[in-house]
Amino acid sequence: MEKKWVAGTPKLWINTPVPIPFCPGCNHGTAAKLLCDVMDEMEIDQDVVLVVGVGCSTVVYMLVNVDAVMVAHGRPCDAATAIKRMLGKDKIVITLQGDGDSLAIGTESTIHAAARGEKITTIMLNNGNYGTTGGQLAPTTPMDTITTTTPNGRSDVHGYPIKASEFLSNLDGVAYSARGAFTSTANYMRTKKYLKTAIQKQKDGAGYSFVEILSACPSNWHMSPQESLKFIEDKIIPQFPLGEHKNIDKK
Amino acid sequence: MKKRFLVQGNEAVGWGAIDAGCEGFFGYPITPQNEIIEWMAREFPKRGKVFLQSASETGSINMLNGGAVTGKRVMTSTSGPGWSLMLEGISNLCNAELPCVIVNVQRGWNATRHAQTDYTSLTQGGGFGGYKTIVLAPDSIQEIYEHVQLAFYLADKYLTPVVIASDAILGQMMESLELEKINFPRLPEKKWAIKGKSHHKDGERRSSCIAQGMLPSKKYPNLLSFWKSYDEKLKLIKKEEVRYDEISLQDAKLVVVAFGYVARVCQEAVNAARAKGLKVGLLRPVTLWPFPSEIIKEKTKQGVLFLVVEDSLGQMVEDVKSAVEGQADVHLISCLDRHLPLEEGAIYPEKVFEKINTLLN
């Protein structure tokens, strides 16, 4: 009987000689697996260029068997813009970023790539803090949350979280914007559908596409992986609702 | 007959880019380099090349990073404040060993007229990490055009950003330009270029990274292996790529050292002094890094005096002093010696002549 691959390590996963430095329960590895499976199922890996900035997402640059680029903190959308324009429309350029990378230091890069309607796709993991540097206040940190730089909780002193998926959907250059999560199988499958749609928008030349994924950061949240997922369900999703915020075809 | 025409220095950058085979330009408006991005916006798209205006110089330099990883020739241009915004990106491009060309049309601090006040930042690795880039300093419109071509060749040869130090006078004046594409030796194919796996004959993925030495790779398994290799590259550039121009150095008792527009000023002063029988010569560094220290050491042994003329408070003078090692007197004419207190003020040949005359009598 012919053997068929049905589950396990994604085909595009690279076995590194060093242990993968993700914390237990971190969703960055989940997002990387999702990306691998989507690229495999869409049969696009030969034409993909993956761009990462600085943060926990940087690690994925070493784990996925496609051409990949690591650039400055916050600047994947600038680099991806140039890569796409230099290589032409047949290439699929995907940025994988954290919320600090995409929405704090890289706000200009993200917003202007979106406004120009660059034919690139951004996957932004929103875990509400800076994971790599030890859990500081991020532009996405929900109100009242304690971080290492908001020891008494986020209040109006620090201002309010940015809801990227809704915000970007207001820009004319954006063809697709959605927010998913990994808190259940159903949410995982919906997020997978969002990512496939986003990449398809790029292939169609419709414009910039953006998928935000609410992600667990158990180490910095001081919770178990299970508690982290429950926290997302109970506390974060009510503030950051899941779903598609924009879905338009090529004009 | 070759085509000759009157062209502005900033536009000569464009003609040089075309003849160098540059395929992408990313830039942001800033005086006094606006004519470069405007020229590129007009001329690049109609030739099938990429032109893109960024949202800041930080954007430009990171677009340059993206363009450079594809293996195609790409460039940007800026001036003082934009230059400093680009420094993080230049550090990264040096670490990632990506070839590209950056033009800095210098201005005087935040004054939008000419100056040479970015010398130290240009030559001493002004960003983080302790990098160096080759810095070319043209002194005419023809040389701007030629240096852009040379810069792309050197960038590809050594896998490094190469910088061209222009200024507002060179950028905005007009001179006659003769277009002649320079033929450089053939360089190896860029097998490292990121284009998607389908382009790679060996089927292996390619990657580019601004944290070489930290994120382990086959080429650089650790930080020390990266530093050793980078050190060897800098030493090789210092050995192979020093360029300078000399006028009447043979019997000179006084050597004037100047670059860029100031070298043109000094040439006039030196000619006038020679006409009066004064034994003075001009040394013009063409590469500001690597700096032509050896010729300065050689002249020091012959017992000459040095007069550094530069349109800053004195930055290159430190490189001259370093080469002289205390064995010769080094004098300075600086931006304090400009002919007017306003930003239009410049160092005039009369001032340089006067000083030559005083030092040699």
Q: Rounded to whole angstroms, how far apart are CA atoms A65 and A40?
A: 11
Q: With CA atoms as reference, report the closest residue to B60 among B18, B14, B28, B105.
A: B28
Buried/exposed B2-30: b ≥16 CB within 10 Å, e otherwise: eeeeebbbbbbbbbbbbbbebbbbbbbeb
Of B62, B74, B195, the CB nearest to A72: B62
CB atoms within 10 A of CB A20: 15
Please indicate whether, in this complex, the C-beta atoms of B65 and A75 are within 8 angstroms of each other. Answer: yes
Is some CB atom of chain A closer than 8 A to the CB atom of B215? yes
- Identify all chain B residues contacting A112, using CB atoms and an 8 Å cutoff: 54-55, 59
Q: With CA atoms as reference, report the closest residue to A190 among A160, A220, A222, A214.
A: A214
Going along chain B from its start, the domains and CATH numbers come out as 4-178 (3.40.50.970), 244-360 (3.40.50.920)
Task: Answer yes or no: is pLDDT of A18 > 90.
Answer: no
A·B CB contacts under 8 A: 123
* Regions of chain B with pLDDT less than 50: none
Q: Which residue of B has its CA nearest to A79?
A: B66
Fold of A28-247: Rossmann fold (3.40.50)
Tell me what pLDDT residue B11 has.
98
Q: Rounded to whole angstroms, how far apart are CA atoms B4 and B1?
A: 9
What residue ranges do the domains of chain A occupy? 28-247
- Asked whether the beta carbons of B126 and B120 are under 8 A apart, the reply is yes
Q: What is the mean pLDDT of the segment spanning A197-225? A: 97
ipTM, two decimals: 0.96
- The Cα of B93 is separated from the nearest Cα of chain A by a number of Å equal to 9
Q: For the segment A76-93, what is each residue's pLDDT rounded down to a tens digit?
A: 999 999 999 999 999 999
Is some CB atom of chain B closer than 8 A to the CB atom of A223? no
Buried/exposed A198-222: b ≥16 CB within 10 Å, e otherwise: bbebbbeebbbbbbbbbbbbbbbbe
CB atoms within 10 A of CB B342: 9
Q: What is the mean pLDDT of the segment spanning A7-13? A: 88
More confident residue, A17 or B277: B277
Q: Rounded to whole angstroms, how far apart are CA atoms B304 and A136?
A: 60
Tell me what pLDDT residue B313 has.
97
